[in-house]
Amino acid sequence: MPYPVGVFDSGIGGVSILLEIRKLLNHENIMYFADSFWCPYGTKSVEQIRGRTLKITEFFASQKVKAVVVACNTACSAGLDLVRINNQDIPIIGVEPAVKPAHDITRNGRIGVLSTNLTLQGQKFSILVEKFGNGVEIFTQPAPGLADLVDQGKKDSPETLDMLNRFLQPLLAREIDTLVLGCTHYPFLKDAIQKICGKDIVILDTGLAVAKQTERVLRYRNILGSREEEGTVSFYTSGEASSVKEVLETIWPESVGSVTRVDI
């Protein structure tokens, strides 16, 4: 059996990345791990998140994955470099907020970034802003609790919509014309965000960019799967399998099948 690609996030947010990988690389076998017991990462310490990313990557390595996609901005901010150091034989693909694309397309030079506290406070984000912040203003807005509601299957709930509105108003008051979704959970709220922001504000996420980078890495390493047959997607979690499956069935367009709980 062809070796799979491993994808993980603190919960189901990384499925927004998985969807794009599946579209682009539907010949690949993919394992998705939702670290739901530890969700959300945004409220955890850097040390805790580093520990989780290392343990999950170890699990993937035991399953003989050929690459790992860390589909979580917070995990990448806290521990991507450490994961790469500890897994030099496995290519590790990360994510980062789409600050560069926002810089390239903004019309009025006013960019908003909606993300978790830890991502916004991390060194990687500071480097992004320093590198691509010239000539533009970047306004940040932490959104504590938002990813948790998405993970609970409440993306359309009044509570979530109220929270979204509260978090977006300060950015709208800054007259932004481009909004970066700096958490992989947030693309599942894109329709609601667009409604609040209005049609003139461009909303950016990183799903397609990460999928293309995954393809480039696999091609460079000469480990792309055969294009003659469709690959499989299998789901794993550290949380309650039935609850995770229930939420997955609302966002995954294919049959979810079984969700396997793994004690990591």
pLDDT for residue 18 is more than 90: yes
What is residue 1's predicted lDDT score, i.e. its pLDDT? 53
CA 61 to chain centre: 20
pLDDT at position 189:
98
Alpha-carbon distance of 17 to 7, in angstroms, equals 9
Amino acid identity for residue 125 in this structure: F
Q: pTM of the prediction? A: 0.94
Q: Based on the residue annotation, tell me whether 72 is a catalytic residue of this protein.
A: yes
Asked whether the beta carbons of 178 and 201 are under 8 A apart, the reply is: yes
| Fold agreement between 5-95+207-261 and 99-204 | yes
Name, in order, each residue with C-beta under 8 angstroms of 177's C-beta and a sequence gap of 6 or more: 106, 107, 108, 110, 111, 200, 201, 202
Task: For residue range 70-91, list pLDDT tens digits in order.
Answer: 999 999 999 899 999 999 899 9
Percentage of the residues of the chain whose pLDDT score is greater than 90:
90
CATH, domain range 99-204: 3.40.50.1860
For 116-132, b/e burial (b = at least 16 CB within 10 A) is bebbbebebbeebbeeb
Interval 101-150: pLDDT, tens: 999 999 999 999 999 998 999 899 999 999 999 999 999 999 999 999 99
Domain ranges of the chain: 5-95+207-261, 99-204
Is 183 a known active-site residue?
yes
148-178 pLDDT, tens digit each: 999 999 999 999 999 999 999 999 999 999 9
102 closest CA partner among 111, 115, 93, 92: 111
> Is 5-95+207-261 in CATH node 1.20.1250.20?
no
